[in-house]
Structure formats: structure tokens, C-alpha cells
Structure 1
Amino acid sequence: MLIETVPFTHPDVETLTEAAQRFYRERYGDPDESPIDPAEFAEPKGTFLLGTLDGEPIACGGWRSGVHGDPGDVEIKRMFVLAEHRGKGLARVLIAELERTAALAGFTRVILETGTEQPEAMAFYVSTGYHPIPSFGYYREAPECRCYAKQLTTPPRS
């Protein structure tokens, strides 16, 4: 998978976001209504990554800072891999790159939210070193909201 930094408004990101929203409607009955400003994913406050395979968009995710929590925190949003590409380790590659870029930008912790209707996501985050934290964000009062965090280590400078 080729991973590149793109604007949140990139057409391929819009296509993947629409697929993610269909997935959320299937699982929860409604789309994700968390407020998102595309500017939040522009450097230096954030970044957005697009994963492609043979030129086709198959995965995306980004981080943004200054929205929730401590000033050293970034929040991962819109992390998504198309269903036909799941189970191949691509999400692990994508989240590792999100963490690496956040650490290089000087951030010390990643936070995120998911929900009980996505048990695969909850298991994935735990398996990649995330631990449960109190709920935050748009869905913090929703009983199905689950939030996670992971401390980042600063990568060595080359």
C-alpha cells in the first residue's frame, strides 16, 4: 500500500468517507455526525493520509490537534479501510504512520473514539497498544462510545 499525505478534501478521501458513513449507518443506524473542519487536518495542526493499492484508494485516516484533551494530544479521525482489504495488516501500517507523523510533529499521545458496534476496531486498537480512557468528544454521553489512548515515543531523528 502506498501512503501519501493529502488534503481532507481530496476526492479519494471523500469517496472513502462516504464508504465509512455507509458502514456507520449499517452498524449504528446513523452516520457519524462528529463535527469536522477540513482545516484541522492541515499541517502543522494535523495531517491526513490516503492509502492506495494499484492506484485505487483503499484506506484513509488523519490526526488533528487542539480539539480535545491535553495540548500534547492528537485525535485520530476517519480511519477506515475498505471491507475487501481488511485482515491484511493495512490498518496496522496506516496507524503506525499516523503515530509516526504525530510524534515527529512533537505530539506525545494519540486519542480516539470508536463504538461498541465496532468490536473489530476496539480489538484492533487494544492489539496496537491503546488503552481505554474516559469518553470524550461529540459522542461522550452515548452509551456505546468507547475511547482509547496511546503514548507516543519520539522517533529517532535521522
Structure 2
Amino acid sequence: MTSAPELAIAQVTVADPRVQPLLRELGDEYSRRYGKDAHAELARYPDEEFTAPYGGVLLLLLERGEAVAGGAFRRYDATTAELKRIWTHSAHRRRGLARRVVAELEREASARGHRRIYLTTGPRQPEARGLYLATGYTPLFDTAADPETIGPLPFEKHLPVVTHQGKAASL
């Protein structure tokens, strides 16, 4: 029995060539789901917003260096990070990679002093909605309403305060 390849986490800039295939596939999928070219939307934020001190891009890499999943966050306000571009390559889905990306982004955001995560996902992305609900995010919308009538679906999650010993402290 062969085991799954080990995954390594790399912090990179948006300009890193390993990011481009994920963003290209993400833009193509959004374009199909929403019926308009989504590539411009993906380029809406300057790359600097996804680098220190504002945020960071994280990729999960297979041992051979191929990017299989990734995501980013940017500074939303003084205490809040906004998750963006959570993505798993279509050939690597249903393996828990998006959960791992979200957990790593939360860990890094917390380490950089953020106490809250905010994000939105589109109404035609039920997989993303399910991911955020399953990973402890609070919906900031009526979950019983038709998502198409809401538009972008906002979520938030409060992060635990981490002590110097690396343990979560209660407020």
C-alpha cells in the first residue's frame, strides 16, 4: 500500500509562478459558475495586500513541488484578516486540502496578531459555504434564504488569543 505524498507549506508572493495555475483555474471556474469573466476580479487587489505586513499567500505543495491547494489573507482592519482565494486544484479535491489551507491561514493570521477572520464566498459555491460552516465560521447572513438573493455570503470567525507559550487563552 502506498501512502499519500507528504505536503509542505510554502509562503510565497502572488507573483510566484506556482500560484498562477491555481489562480488561472480558479478564474476559469468562477467564470463558468457566474457567466462572466472572473479573471479581472481575481486581480482586483494589489499583490502587496497579500504580503507582509498585510497578509500572506500560503500554498500546500506535494513533495515534487506541485501546487495542489492554496489561499491567502489580507488585512481587513486592525484586528481582522480577510481570507481570499481559497482553492484546491480540481485533480486534488475531496482530500481535506481546503480545510488544511484554512487552518494554516488562521494560524498565520493569529500569529500576526489578527483576532478575527472575515471572508465572503459566492452564492454559487455551495462547497465553499459548506467548508466554512464545517470549520466553525459564523454566517453573517440568513442561511435559510436563497443564496442568489443575498449575493456574496459573509462569514466570520474569532480566533483564540495565543499566549507566549503557544497555548490558547480564554478572554
The interval holding the TM-score normalised by the smaller chain is 0.7 to 0.9
Distance in 2, Cα, partners of 1:155 & 1:117: 35
Tell me the amino acid that sits aligned with residue 76 of structure 1: L
- Structure 1's consecutive aligned runs of 4 or more residues displaced over 6 angstroms after TM superposition are none
Q: 1:39 — aligned with what?
A: 48
Tell me the amino acid that sits aligned with residue 3 of structure 1: I
Name which one, 1 or 2, has greater alpha-carbon Rg. 2
Q: 2:71 — aligned with what?
A: 61
Bigger relative contact order, structure 1 or 2, given CA contacts below 8 A and separation 6+?
1
Normalization by structure 2: what TM-score?
A: 0.81
5+ residue gaps, structure 1, are 135-141
Q: 1:80 — aligned with what?
A: 87
Alignment of 1:1-158 (within 5 A): 1-30=7-36, 31=38, 33=41, 35-53=44-62, 54-66=64-76, 70-133=77-140, 143-158=150-165
Tell me the amino acid that sits aligned with residue 2 of structure 1: A
Deviations 1:76-116 (A, max 9, x none): 11110012211111111111010000001010100111112
Tell me the amino acid that sits aligned with residue 49 of structure 2: E
Distance in 1, Cα, partners of 2:99 & 2:114: 20
Q: Is the 8 A contact 1:117 1:144 kept in 2?
A: no
Normalization by structure 1: what TM-score?
A: 0.87
Distance in 1, Cα, partners of 2:100 & 2:68: 13
Distance in 2, Cα, partners of 1:60 & 1:157: 28
5+ residue gaps, structure 2, are 1-6, 142-148, 166-171
Distance in 2, Cα, partners of 1:85 & 1:37: 28
RMSD: 1.6
Q: Is the 8 A contact 1:8 1:38 kept in 2?
A: yes
* CA displacement at 1:156 relative to structure 2: 4.2
Tell me the amino acid that sits aligned with residue 26 of structure 1: R
Provide the aligned length of Structure 1 versus Structure 2.
Answer: 148
Identity %: 36
Q: Is the 8 A contact 1:61 1:80 kept in 2?
A: yes
* CA displacement at 1:144 relative to structure 2: 2.8
Tell me the amino acid that sits aligned with residue 103 of structure 1: S
